């Protein structure tokens, strides 16, 4: 089954996820969808210092929105913020330093942002990682891929729900990956202790499946907020070059640009037409698509998803209680 999933997925990817797939899909895009004035609306983007996150920050800044760039590295974050401000000529571009893999820091950051009184209309969960060697933090005992891609995202999103709920037409967007199509939700091994040998690519794909399940469940839990997840396709970004060097070398002539990868993310963040779609859907090239491959047996039960979400809440609570600012 694993071989079948991977083969079907790769064939699908060659057709849809490449630059050629984007060129074909973009023929149906409506330019008017992005003809918007978002002055006064506030957008938070994690992992905003490079690649898709930076492209999205720039696109939003050019449209007049207030942009909160959340970055892990202070130097790279400051350089990115300055570049976005200068190119967009928008003075409302803010930098926040946060390593989303550290749950205590996520809790403090969220509390401090809420206490500042700043509004938030759209949260874009873009930050992520693919660590190819199983790495457990000595500080909190969490495996790095899980703490970054799943737990940190859940903690930030959950903390921002009250703030987002105060705004009309608020949105949360999850930048996930088509790689999740080869994975069924596995809520019993969140930190990959049973994965032998450890495979960073499959761990990442599992995290991305988890993000899709999280998005679907958030949509049911918070009907006043519009949730969506999206796949940027195979794009040429610093993260792809560093985390998947072999894939990059084989596919580099067929990869989308970072701007093309960011297109659907920008559309989900800005377009009014997004609200014509149900909350909780998974998007690719501005269209909702299936979250499962045919005959791949990757669907999870309601009970499995409920248990998974409860586990995330339970782990999160440990760090919320321990946070000095809580």
Q: Which of 32, 273, 38 is nearest to 167 (CA)?
A: 38
User: In the predicted model, is pLDDT for residue 322 greater than 80?
Assistant: no
pLDDT of residue 285: 98
pLDDT of residue 243: 87
Q: Confidence band (pLDDT; 50, 70, 90) for 13?
A: very high
Please give the structure tokens belonging to residue 282.
């998974």
Tens digit of each residue's pLDDT (9 = 90 or more) over 104-156: 999 999 999 999 999 999 999 999 999 999 999 999 999 999 999 999 999 99
Class of 2-322 in CATH: alpha beta
Q: Confidence band (pLDDT; 50, 70, 90) for 75?
A: very high
pLDDT of residue 321: 52
**Rounded mean pLDDT of 158-178?**
97
User: In the predicted model, is pLDDT for residue 318 greater than 50?
Assistant: yes
User: In the predicted model, is pLDDT for residue 173 greater than 90?
Assistant: yes
pLDDT of residue 323: 44
> What gap in Å lies between CA 94 and CA 76, rounded to an integer?
14
Q: Please, which residues have CB within 8 angstroms of residue 160's CB and are 6 or more apart in sequence? A: 44, 110, 113, 114, 120, 123, 172
Percent of the chain whose predicted confidence (pLDDT) is above 70: 98
As annotated, the active-site residues are: 204
Q: Which of 160, 76, 125, 69 is nearest to 265 (CA)?
A: 125
Q: Which of 238, 46, 230 is nearest to 125 (CA)?
A: 46
Tens digit of each residue's pLDDT (9 = 90 or more) over 249-305: 999 999 999 999 999 999 999 999 999 999 999 999 999 999 999 988 999 999 999
Percent of the chain whose predicted confidence (pLDDT) is above 90: 93
Tens digit of each residue's pLDDT (9 = 90 or more) over 202-261: 999 999 999 999 999 999 999 999 999 999 999 999 889 988 899 999 999 999 999 999
User: In the predicted model, is pLDDT for residue 192 greater than 70?
Assistant: yes
Mean confidence (pLDDT) of the chain: 95
pLDDT of residue 204: 96
Domain ranges of the chain: 2-322
Q: Confidence band (pLDDT; 50, 70, 90) for 63?
A: very high
User: In the predicted model, is pLDDT for residue 324 greater than 80?
Assistant: no
pLDDT of residue 1: 57
Q: Which of 220, 253, 221, 224 is nearest to 236 (CA)?
A: 253
In whole angstroms, what separates CA 88 from the centre of its chain? 23
Residue, of 242 and 172, whose pLDDT is higher: 172
Q: How many CB atoms lie within 10 A of CB 298?
A: 17
């Amino acid at each position: 089954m694993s071989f079948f999933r991977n083969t079907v997925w790769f064939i699908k990817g060659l057709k849809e996820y490449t630059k050629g797939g984007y060129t074909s899909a973009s023929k149906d895009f409506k330019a008017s969808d992005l003809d918007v004035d978002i002055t006064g609306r506030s957008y938070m983007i994690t992992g905003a210092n490079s690649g898709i996150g930076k492209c999205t920050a720039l696109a939003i800044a050019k449209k007049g929105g207030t942009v909160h760039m959340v970055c892990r590295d202070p130097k790279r974050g400051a350089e990115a913020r300055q570049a976005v401000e200068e190119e967009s000529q928008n003075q409302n571009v803010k930098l926040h330093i946060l390593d989303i893999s550290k749950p205590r820091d996520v809790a403090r950051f969220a509390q401090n942002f809420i206490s500042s009184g700043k509004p938030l209309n759209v949260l874009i969960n873009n930050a992520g990682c693919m660590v190819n060697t199983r790495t457990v933090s000595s500080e909190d005992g969490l495996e790095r891929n899980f703490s970054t891609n799943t737990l940190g995202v859940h903690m930030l999103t959950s903390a921002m729900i009250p703030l987002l709920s105060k705004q009309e037409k608020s949105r949360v967007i999850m930048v996930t990956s088509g790689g999740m199509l080869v994975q069924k939700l596995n809520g019993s091994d969140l930190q990959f202790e049973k994965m032998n040998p450890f495979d960073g690519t499959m761990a990442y794909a599992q995290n991305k499946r988890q993000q899709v399940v999280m998005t679907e469940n958030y949509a049911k839990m918070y009907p006043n907020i519009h949730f969506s997840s999206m796949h940027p396709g195979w794009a040429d970004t610093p993260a792809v070059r560093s985390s998947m060097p072999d894939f990059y070398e084989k596919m580099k002539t067929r990869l989308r640009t970072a701007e093309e990868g960011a297109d659907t993310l920008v559309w989900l963040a800005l377009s009014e037409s997004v609200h014509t779609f149900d909350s909780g859907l998974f998007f690719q090239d501005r269209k909702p698509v299936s979250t499962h491959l045919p005959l791949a047996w990757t669907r999870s039960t309601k009970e499995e998803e409920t248990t998974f979400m409860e586990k995330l809440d339970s782990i999160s609570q440990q760090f919320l209680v321990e946070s000095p600012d809580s």
